[in-house]
Amino acid sequence: MAVTSHTSTETSRRDFFAEAATVASTAVAASADSVDKEARFPTESIEALKASKLLGAMIRPELGGGGATISELGRVIETLSAQCASTAMIYAMHQIQVACLVHHGETPELLDYTRKVAAEELLLASATTEIGVGGDVRTSLCAIEHGGAGRYTLTKEAGVISYGEYADAILATARRSPDAANSDQVIVVVPAADRTLEQRGSWDTLGFRGTCSLGFLLTAQGPLSNIIPTPYADVSAQTMLPTSHITWGHVWLGIAEGAMAKARAYVRAAARKSPGITPPGALRVAEAMTVLHQFRALVHGAARDYEEALDDPTRLTSMGFAIQMNNLKLSSSTLVVDIVGRAMQVCGISGYREDSPYSLSRALRDAHGAALMVNNDRIYNTTAQMLLIAKDV
């Protein structure tokens, strides 16, 4: 093991961005419109990501993964999102679950499972929300029940499990035991063989239509060793909160990049038609680029800050850091709507049309999901609470 742990040198380092760019310009670009129109799972895109070994990108090389940093993953997500935000969001949600395994799955059984995720390029989903808790993922009603012989059973009315039926495993939150408090939660890794899913409701939304975020009744049984030993409260604060907001931030940024690419192409085409006359949209593009550069600095900077904080547990668990991550979500989810709106101004009716190469319909609909998926008002409330007592922010 000591030998293999040193194989990830600078010279052998993978270019994750280039790999993602290839997948994005082929399978993802080709399927994005039909995924959106039919609100279907982006099978071709996810298969292409698997073929490029990008699902296991974040797992340590000694466990068979790519050893990507969160900044590198962010660039992958951004690149995918410029073509298809649903694919990028699925990839982001998968990586959040991988991060939980990478940072908290330290038992021999869970390390074995992490190796399997890398070797077989498994797709992970999440069941954190539950009917009856008012959207508060830090509360569970369902509980892990010990079935004897080192096994558990679990039944959860999951309000949403995005791409649940396509996932090779679902990471579900539950109370530690039937007599545990609602906030005393753990995460259990539920491979497809250990579960049944009974579909509840449908997923017919404005945007992010390919994420297939349906509700399910999840019933699971399996070995107790599939439970992550770290309490969910710690997993949530140290890993899920930062990786969620950073990976989502890159999804929103990618939407903005895609919209601006269209706006710039539109203005360039106009400029070519009448050289010497600066098209009216050019000024708007210049203006919008200043906002896009702020957006890039915000999202890329947050990823670097998180990488630095990984070596500093005090910083990672501080209120100041939690507030910074909350603010990343609040700012980036607002900026994406702003940028797509500006791109629409530039492209005019061509951007408004569904049947034009400059159509911004999908970008506009996806962009508005950003502030609603984990509602910004909920996050503002949490931050407002923390600011009552936090000092160094």
Partner 1 sequence: MSVEKIRSLIAQHGRLSIDIEALKNADDLYRAGLTSHASVNLMLALEDEFDIEFPESYLKRGTFESINSIGMALAEITGDMSMAN
340, 381, 90, 26: CA torsion to nearest 10: 20
d(CA 61, CA 109): 18
d(CA 163, CA 349): 34
d(CA 143, CA 148): 15
Q: Which is nearer to partner 1, 7 or 183 (CB)?
A: 183
Among 149, 193, 349, 388, which residue interacts with partner 1 (rule: CB under 8 A)? 388
| Among the residue ranges 18-26, 246-254, 285-293, 385-393, the one whose residues contact partner 1 (CB under 8 A) | 385-393
Q: Strands 213-223 and 151-162, how do they pair? A: antiparallel
Q: Applying CB under 8 A, does 391 fall inside the site for partner 1? A: yes
Considering only residues 131 to 160 of the shown chain, the ones binding partner 1 according to CB under 8 A are: 138-139
d(CA 133, CA 315): 30
Considering only residues 249 to 278 of the shown chain, the ones binding partner 1 according to CB under 8 A are: none
Please report the sign of the dihedral spanned by the C-alpha atoms of residue 329, residue 335, residue 338, residue 340: negative
**What DSSP designation does 24 have?**
I
Partners of 108 in the beta sheet?
none
Q: Which is nearer to partner 1, 28 or 186 (CB)?
A: 186
Q: Applying CB under 8 A, does 181 fall inside the site for partner 1? A: yes
Q: Strands 185-191 and 169-175, how do they pair? A: antiparallel
Q: Applying CB under 8 A, does 182 fall inside the site for partner 1? A: yes
- Joined together, the tokens standing for residue 2 give 């000591």
Q: Which is nearer to partner 1, 7 or 182 (CB)?
A: 182
Q: Applying CB under 8 A, does 184 fall inside the site for partner 1? A: yes
Q: Applying CB under 8 A, does 224 fall inside the site for partner 1? A: no
> How many other C-beta atoms can be found within 10 angstroms of the C-beta atom of residue 87?
30
Among 48, 117, 197, 237, which residue interacts with partner 1 (rule: CB under 8 A)? 237
**What DSSP designation does 227 have?**
B
Q: Which is nearer to partner 1, 205 or 382 (CB)?
A: 382
CB of 139 to partner 1, least distance (A): 8
Q: Applying CB under 8 A, does 180 fall inside the site for partner 1? A: yes
Number of residues that bind partner 1 (CB under 8 A): 25
Considering only residues 325 to 384 of the shown chain, the ones binding partner 1 according to CB under 8 A are: 382
Residues near partner 1 (CB under 8 A) are: 138-139, 176, 180-184, 231, 233-234, 237, 314, 317-320, 382, 385-386, 388-392
